[in-house]
Structure 1
Amino acid sequence: MNKWLSKGVLACLLLLAQLCFTYCVAQEPQSQGEGNEPAAERRGPHIAQLSISGPIGPATTDYLIRTSDKARKGGARLFIVNMDTPGGLDAATRDIIQHILASDIPYVTYVTPAGARAASAGTYILYASHVAAMTPSTTLGAATPVQIGGMPGQQEPPAKAPEMSEDKAGEEGEQNGEPKKRERDPRSAMERKVVNDSVAYIRGLAHRNGRNADWAEKAVRDAATLTAREARAENVVDIVADNQQQLLQQLADRDVILPSGKQKISGTIAELPVVSYEPDWRNELLSLITNPQVAYILLLIGIYGLIFEGYSPGAIVPGVVGIICLLLAFYALQVLPINYAGLALIIVGALLIAAELFVPSFGALGIGGVVALVIGSVMLIDSDVPGMRISKTMIGSIAAISGLALLGFLYAVGRSLRKPIVAANQAMVGRTAVVSVVEPELLVKIDGEIWRARCDNLLTEGQLVKVTAEQGLLLQVVPE
């Protein structure tokens, strides 16, 4: 049993290592653009170039805050944040915005390259930045909080009825003998609270930096979007530049609002070297384990590892691996928007599947466990943010593997029940053994076990023999 458990845990570790390697290769920084210098070679005043690519989460916040502090100590005079994001988590976005607003060095958020977007959370960060810039053929907007959309499959709120004029409403009310009624917002109180809070937040950011607050409200309430040229015309962004050099030229002598008051960006800013700060190993690790897919796998490995250790005390490997994976999973889940009911269902499902191996329920526990595991997996991540959900393909794969393993176990149990019952003291009869030692005492080996034996014929080491009788710990054998 322990041998199979160790092999299973080793396979899980290899799978996890392959996943980590694949993710790190996919996230490997691209070669730096012309004119950029490696971060290790920075000396004196420079422009720090950071990047936000993909969904905004805890790893993004950690990277932006730690790296900007490092760059500030190294002599950074300006931060340029290249951004391409579909959105992100509210808590992580607010942490980034608070850091930007408290910075005594200007932040320039630049939506680039062509085809990039600053959707949802990216729009808030763009409004919070001291200078907002975009590349042609980029977009921003659609800043409505996605959590208010409800669970998948839930019906959309009914469309709001067309509004009528006060006079007409008053006439109808008088005709029916009822007082005039005001049209009610079909959204729930919680939805209105979330939207109104987001509107107030983004309008405050717009007023701080002198940008279009009315359009910002439309982006939240109506999910409005704009292209780069339209955003510049609507006073949503400050600069539209084809490349970084054009951006730096347009930044010269521009006024920005810092905590200390209004300041002017140096007219010679374009002459400073641009230093690219890429994520380090710590940020790569944090980004890896806070990925919902990886956190989900770590959770399952941790649960099953501890279950196997509990049923096979002394195996050690499953327990050690399970504890490590479970701690990493809990760290990731505490910074992700999870549904605790989903987490509880996953744990219960794993326990039921494990219990099927030791309790003769003929599949009832196992089937219930697979159902609970699938439902819990679907519910686990409580967010509609792109990139912050567990893929249905992974959930289906886990369910299929669990189901096939359960069917295989039930098939093995069925076969064992159909086999003829053999007395325990005759289990070796009919087995084939290998002669291990001839003198001074005949010893034979069966499946790695050494047995004392007796034979009326002359045997040689390595010869195959067949067991004809079993008397306690002594076997009667004959040559095959």
Structure 2
Amino acid sequence: MQKGKQIRLFILTILLIGFLIPSVALVTKAEAKSNVIYHIPIHEDIEKGLHAFLQRAFKEAEQNQADAIILDIHTPGGFTNAAGNIAKLMDATNIRTIAYINKDALSAGAFLALHADEVYMTPNGTMGAAGIIEQSGKDADKKVQSAWIKQMKAAAETKAGKDPIYAMAMADKDIDLPELGSPKGEFLTLSAKEAEQVKYSQGTAATLQDVLQATQLNDHEMIQVEPTFFEHVARFITNPIVIPILLSIASLGLIIELYSPGFGISGAMGLISLVLFFFGHLVAGFAGYETILLFILGAALIGAEFFIPGGIVGIIGIGAVIASIVMAGADVTHMLISVLIAISVAIVGMVIIMKVFGKKLTILNNLVLKDATTTEDGYVSNVNRIDLIGRTGKTVTPLRPSGIMDIQGERLDVVSEGAYIEAGKMVVIIKVEGSRIVVREEREEA
């Protein structure tokens, strides 16, 4: 009992952390300063959580009336939809944006660098290789590739002096640029020297201080913006690869809990996974508290189904839970796929538990009557009067074959062995089977 209380206390603590702290995790508005620049890292993969972090950073820079934003880029790429949202953020701000490619700006990273007002690269930096590759490792279909090539072209065209052919060659293997070491069949990747040569960068800078010197911002106060702990967690949780894994753990943990007595580790894992899912999407700005309320309502309806017959309440509850999870995500299609994966994992888990381990739903133990009133346990539907066997009496009515007999003033419902017996005849009781009393006519010996 004490262990169960500790588990429930732990879950409650996680819930409080997940739902109450996000509001204080976000950086509060800073007092407006003058003559400042913001240094913001874009490292690792580009995904939805990064967009949420940059939203917060850009907003703070605008509130402080920053003179410039320096994006420190070192990324192998990431998801194009996340890169598209970040590019919108960069295009919408009135602040001067400078991309400092501090080693590599590949794929979606190159796309973001093209949206900056100015680009500087380290001497050994690279920029390009922006072809779209699916998670399976194969090239994306032609429709998706065509749209992405146009986006790369448009990004280059928005900045004066950039020839869009190079941006297109980064995403299109059919463009032949042998003078840049990118023959037909390969994606274009520019070195720092080549990028400067084709006017895709304003210069080569070994350090960030060199960038400040080249942009005449070395006399400005530089504010370093880093993701908070909660934003780090949110970036991990909202990663499109992590989401289906997290939901699968949640569904499998809760399914296993249904087959286990009490509340244990599997149930705690399921609840913690759900808390982390909503927590990450709250911090990332994709989910609102209305999605959490919808989830709680759905869970309550599913619980009510065990006490309200019909099935409609449970179906509505399941629909509400799925809708809340889908609404919490940034991409509806990806969330639906993630939910389908989680449901599939739960179904497979149920089959294995029932077929391999022979488990049954213990949650139904309190709802299904399992006690049986058997004769072995002393339960009988009526009194079995075996004491009547051998006693004699007179028939009050004819037995056809049932009728009434009298034994010393006690009237009994009886049946004959099968033969007709007239009223007033003497009969003997030969068998008693519950309420069935069988008699035989007693004949006088000659």
- Residue matched to 2:82: 92
Instruction: Classify the secondary structure of the residue corresponding to 2:141.
Output: helix
Pairing 1:43-58 to 2, within 5 Å after superposition: 43-58=33-48
In 1, the alpha carbon distance for the partners of 2:335 and 2:67 equals 43
Instruction: Classify the secondary structure of the residue corresponding to 2:70.
Output: strand
- Residue matched to 1:134: 121
1:77 aligns with 2:67: yes
1:225 aligns with 2:221: no
Pairing 1:302-381 to 2, within 5 Å after superposition: 302-312=250-260, 314-315=262-263, 318-319=266-267, 321-326=269-274, 328-329=276-277, 334-335=329-330, 338=334, 344-359=340-355
In 2, the alpha carbon distance for the partners of 1:130 and 1:217 equals 19
Pairing 1:65-464 to 2, within 5 Å after superposition: 65-112=55-102, 116-147=103-134, 151-152=136-137, 191-210=141-160, 211-222=162-173, 223-252=187-216, 269-291=217-239, 294-312=242-260, 314-315=262-263, 318-319=266-267, 321-326=269-274, 328-329=276-277, 334-335=329-330, 338=334, 344-359=340-355
In 2, the alpha carbon distance for the partners of 1:214 and 1:359 equals 60
Instruction: Classify the secondary structure of the residue corresponding to 2:119.
Output: strand
Using the size of structure 1 for normalisation, the TM-score is: 0.51
In 1, the alpha carbon distance for the partners of 2:341 and 2:243 equals 16
Instruction: Classify the secondary structure of the residue corresponding to 1:76.
Output: coil
In 1, the alpha carbon distance for the partners of 2:356 and 2:40 equals 58
Deviation, structure 1 residue 206: 1.3
Instruction: Classify the secondary structure of the residue corresponding to 1:300.
Output: helix
Deviates more, 1:225-234 or 1:235-244: 235-244
Unaligned runs of 5+ in 2: 15-28, 174-186, 282-325, 360-376, 378-446
Deviation, structure 1 residue 248: 1.9
CA contact (8 A) 1:109 1:131 kept: yes
CA contact (8 A) 1:42 1:275 kept: no
CA contact (8 A) 2:45 2:77 kept: yes
Q: What RMSD, in angstroms, separates the aligned Cα atoms of the two structures?
A: 3.9
Q: CA 1:321–1:247 in structure 2 vs 1: closer, same or farther (change >3 Å)?
A: same
CA contact (8 A) 1:79 1:105 kept: yes
Matching residue's letter, 1:95: N
Deviation, structure 1 residue 72: 2.2
In 2, the alpha carbon distance for the partners of 1:6 and 1:304 equals 23
Deviation, structure 1 residue 99: 0.8
Cα offsets for 1:425-454 (capped at 9, x unmatched):
9xxxxxxxxxxxxxxxxxxxxxxxxxxxxx
Instruction: Classify the secondary structure of the residue corresponding to 2:58.
Output: helix
Deviation, structure 1 residue 196: 2.5
In 2, the alpha carbon distance for the partners of 1:127 and 1:50 equals 17
In 1, the alpha carbon distance for the partners of 2:254 and 2:167 equals 50
Q: CA 1:54–1:362 in structure 2 vs 1: closer, same or farther (change >3 Å)?
A: same
Deviation, structure 1 residue 358: 3.6
In 2, the alpha carbon distance for the partners of 1:342 and 1:284 equals 21
Deviation, structure 1 residue 55: 0.6
Matching residue's letter, 1:235: K
Matching residue's letter, 2:111: Y
In 2, the alpha carbon distance for the partners of 1:64 and 1:213 equals 26
Matching residue's letter, 1:247: V
In 2, the alpha carbon distance for the partners of 1:349 and 1:141 equals 38
- Select the structure of larger CA radius of gyration: 2
Matching residue's letter, 2:123: P
Cα offsets for 1:298-354 (capped at 9, x unmatched):
323311321133224652775464234136447768347848567535533443334
Deviates more, 1:332-341 or 1:342-351: 332-341
In 1, the alpha carbon distance for the partners of 2:156 and 2:356 equals 65
Deviation, structure 1 residue 98: 0.6
In 2, the alpha carbon distance for the partners of 1:251 and 1:305 equals 55
Deviation, structure 1 residue 241: 1.3
Q: CA 1:130–1:345 in structure 2 vs 1: closer, same or farther (change >3 Å)?
A: closer
Cα offsets for 1:383-419 (capped at 9, x unmatched):
xxxxxxxxxxxxxxxxxxxxxxxxxxxxxxxxxxxxx
Q: CA 1:339–1:48 in structure 2 vs 1: closer, same or farther (change >3 Å)?
A: closer
In 1, the alpha carbon distance for the partners of 2:87 and 2:345 equals 40
Unaligned runs of 5+ in 1: 17-38, 157-189, 253-268, 364-424, 426-480
- Residue matched to 1:420: none
Instruction: Classify the secondary structure of the residue corresponding to 1:194.
Output: helix
Deviates more, 1:50-59 or 1:293-302: 293-302
- Residue matched to 2:289: none
Cα offsets for 1:85-144 (capped at 9, x unmatched):
1111111101111111111101101001xxx21001011111110111111101011111
